[in-house]
Amino acid sequence: MSILGGMAGKLGEGARTLVLAPVETGRDAVYTLRRIRAGEQSPRGPAKSLLATVGALALCLALLFPIYWILMAALSSTGGSIYSSGGLALVPANPTLKSFLWVVGDLIVPAYTVLLNIPGTELALAFHTPKLVLLDVSRYGIENPSAFKHFLWNSITVSVPTVLISMALVVPAAYALSRRQFILRRKVLFVYVLMTQVGGGLGIALLIGLYTVYVQFGINDNKLALSVYYAATAVPFNTWLLKTYMDGIPTSYEEAAIVDGAPTWRVVTEVILPLSAAGLATVFIFTFLTGWTEFVVAQTLLGTQNYTLPVGLYSLVSEYSIPWARFSAFALTFALPIMLVYLVAQRYIEGGLSFSGMEG
């Protein structure tokens, strides 16, 4: 719990830093400008930083342009492009949020009645909870909202078991490969790398065999079985990633704890895992995304009632047409949690990919 609490605290600190970053940047700019005017600093250094910032900003805008295009399609009621026969329009003529309302649907908590029997009597106390209407999309002319919430629940019930199963295997495997010596250790590492590299090439052949096996066992429409498959595919790469990160933690830390009388499990939970927080966060996000974004296997194995968000998004495509506005709004709503996670946890991902548990 201390590890999770520490990670939650760091994520909160990262979110606070992200929110306050524009204020800090503005304050630094004003301070630098005052120093230049007072002749205490040469303008050459700030000018280079400004040009580099402008270049980086231009690159970011270019990378974000597809998202902007999809957003404009979602805000237009017809899913129109920013470029049409009428010319270039950076903002739709009549922007509307109806497509997003159609995706989210009603947010209504129904009323409930709770009965509490009074012991020794036939009487009971009844408590009525009020009906909470957070959002009623019928007021905005939307009669048949999407099944986004149903797909969202299915994705959560696939992604969370994927993370739990993966982490239960990745953490001890990474520690063993990083710290323990055993027979065929290097061969095991080689097989891990091989599985990571050739898994994509064998994907289609594996999918056919996987579907046959799942049908034979009658688990082809089972979300937990799909989570097991996702976890199996996520374990090799993430074990290698976390193992490489643990390699950067000095062994003297473990030796000091052992000299103090700490058993192995305390060395792992109180020394190795806290120092591997960035690597653990990176592995956590990667395994979560494995279950959250995968499409092909979910489309093949799951039935209509168990469709996850990527398959639900694809189901909007009909034989003769694509509702581009709703499709774009669904895609952005689906991707929003991923973007928020990356935005908040970016420094942990960068630290986890640096292949070093310790610096300095």
Q: Is residue 302 part of a domain?
A: yes
What is the DSSP secondary structure assignment for residue 295, as one 8-state letter?
-
Q: What are phi and psi of 342, to 5 degrees?
A: -65, -40
Q: Do 323 and 210 belong together in one domain?
A: yes
- Alpha carbons 331 and 200: distance in angstroms, whole number: 25
d(Cα 194, Cα 244) in Å, to the nearest integer? 16
Q: Are 225 and 216 in contact (CB under 8 A)?
A: no
Task: Give me the average pLDDT of each 10-residue run along the chain (360 residues).
Answer: 60 71 83 85 85 92 89 80 68 85 88 82 82 86 88 93 94 87 76 66 73 87 91 87 86 84 83 84 87 88 90 86 87 86 69 54
Tell me, yes or no, whether 127 and 38 share the same domain: no
Determine, yes or no, domain membership for 9.
Answer: no
Look at residue 151 in the predicted model and tell me its pLDDT: 94
Note the pLDDT of residue 148: 92
CB-based contacts of 98, cutoff 8 Å, min separation 6: 77, 140, 141, 142, 325
Whole-prediction pTM? 0.78
Q: Are residues 158 and 257 in the same domain?
A: yes
Task: Kindly state whether residues 135 and 251 are assigned to the same domain.
Answer: no
Query: Domain span at residue 64?
Result: 18-95
Claim to verify: residue 129 and residue 221 sit in the same structural domain: no
Is 154 exposed, middle or buried (CB count within 10 Å of its CB: 0-12, 13-18, 19+)?
A: buried
Structure confidence at residue 253 (pLDDT): 84
234 and 211 within one domain: yes
* 284 and 186 belong to one structural domain: yes
Instruction: Report yes or no on 310 lying in a domain.
Output: yes
Q: Both 188 and 126 in a single domain?
A: no
CATH of the domain at 284: 1.10.3720.10
Q: Tell me the two tokens of residue 290.
A: 């494995």
Q: Give the chain's domain count.
A: 3
Write down the pLDDT at residue 360: 42
Together in a domain, 351 and 302 = yes
How is 222-272 classified by DSSP, letter by letter? -HHHHHHHHHHHHHHHHHHHHHHHHHTS-HHHHHHHHHTT--HHHHIIIII
pLDDT number for residue 349: 66
Contacts for 214 with CB less than 8 Å, ≥ 6 apart: 220, 222, 225, 301
- Non-local CB neighbours of 310 within 8 Å, separated by 6+ positions: 293, 294, 295, 298, 299, 334
